[in-house]
Amino acid sequence: MGGNGSEVRHITSAEVTMHCRKSGAVLLVFGLSHASMAKAQARPRARELGVAPGVFAPGPLDAITDVAGVLVGQVTVDEADSVRTGITAILPHAGNLFLQRVPAAIVVGNGFGKLLGSTQVNELGELETPVLLTCTLCVWKAADAMVEWMLSQPGMENVRSINPVVGETNDGYELNTAIRSRPITASQVRQALTSARGGPVEEGSVGAGRGTRAFEWKGGIGTSSRHVPASLGGWTVGVLVQTNFGGVLQIMGAPVGRELNAHKFSRALREKADGSIMIVVATDAPLSDRNLKRLASRALMGLARTGSVASNGSGDYVIAFSTAPQVRRQRDAARLTTTEIGNTEELSALYEGVIEATEEAIYNSLFRATTVSAKGGTVEAIPIDQVKEILARYGIRPGQNK
């Protein structure tokens, strides 16, 4: 909800124009004023700074939505001076996921977190709901709202069990100090789900990343993808992250965190939870849940490349799924008939791709994030000009890795 009691959500420019014509109102878009939105659009993605990890090329959008069928919806929730949070929804396809399930797996790097639904996903090897990301104390409200939304769908009249998958990071410090009020609503969850679409994904201080911080700077939502060459299968792997964790930032090996002196706050941070990261991995490669688990474990290698140490208070989770139609699972089907990738070199190429995409998605979450203030304080966006200077000293410059 906005400070005046109105809902803050993602809307199109056409909706902005129509509403303003009707009411003369000044609206918030994606939870930001027009000035703030322009500032967010001015902040670069990693590749604009010459930061392009790895050897494989990204997809056309360099986003998780490069994987055919994947949809993302986000709602940013700002309320008065003490709520800065939101919801990010990731849908593997546009159909009913309960009736047309996708193979999936979850890997835990460090388990200080609340990832609802994980045991059933790993027991059965399938995902039967969208994936929601939100704040720590909003997990159960988000799950309840998603279950209610799914039960209302056609074909669900006799359903008596649903396994909602909801992940979180804890934004309840400087920015979301009213986290104890569990400040999301069922209507906001439905909005995130129903507004999900393909195409470019908004990054930075939006959705579930509104109140987060990473490496002592403003964190948020980031995404990236990699396309594996045709000789190795021609598959695409995409990653979306919600960053809220610590460590000493390094960017393609450059000691950016050390040179920015971001680690000077580490003593104060030891007195509270260290944050977390949620990593969602999608691929169009026809993988079994077993091989999706192997793929998910490699995403943690991309996390490590950025300087994370998966500290004691961090919840580091990876959710991976395949959108390939030939491995989709029909509810109550008599048997599974699938054509999966076996243990071949194509798997190794996907492993490389997910490591690269995870690393770049984390950088995008930092670079695209804007400074956010609330009652508890201000979390500054990472200073792009200083980062560019540091990267240049280590031979990383804009334009060299597009």
Known catalytic residues?
Answer: 276, 314, 316
Number of Cβ within a 10 Å radius of residue 15:
13
Task: List phi, psi (to 5°) of 281.
Answer: -115, 130
Pull the structure tokens for residue 13: 């420019």
The single-letter DSSP state of residue 335 is S
How far apart are the C-alpha atoms of 53 and 283, rounded to whole Å?
Answer: 19
Q: Are 236 and 377 in contact (CB under 8 A)?
A: no
Residues 6+ apart with CB under 8 A from 131: 89, 90, 91, 165, 166, 167, 280, 319
Q: Which residue stretches of 63-167 are H helix? A: 118-124, 139-151
Q: Are 380 and 218 in contact (CB under 8 A)?
A: yes
How far apart are the C-alpha atoms of 45 and 51, rounded to whole Å?
Answer: 9
Would you state the torsion angle of the CA atoms of residues 86, 61, 314, 74, taken in this order, to the nearest 10 degrees? 10
Closest of 55, 313, 304 to residue 173, by C-alpha: 313
Closest of 149, 122, 120, 117 to residue 133, by C-alpha: 117
End-to-end CA distance of the chain: 39
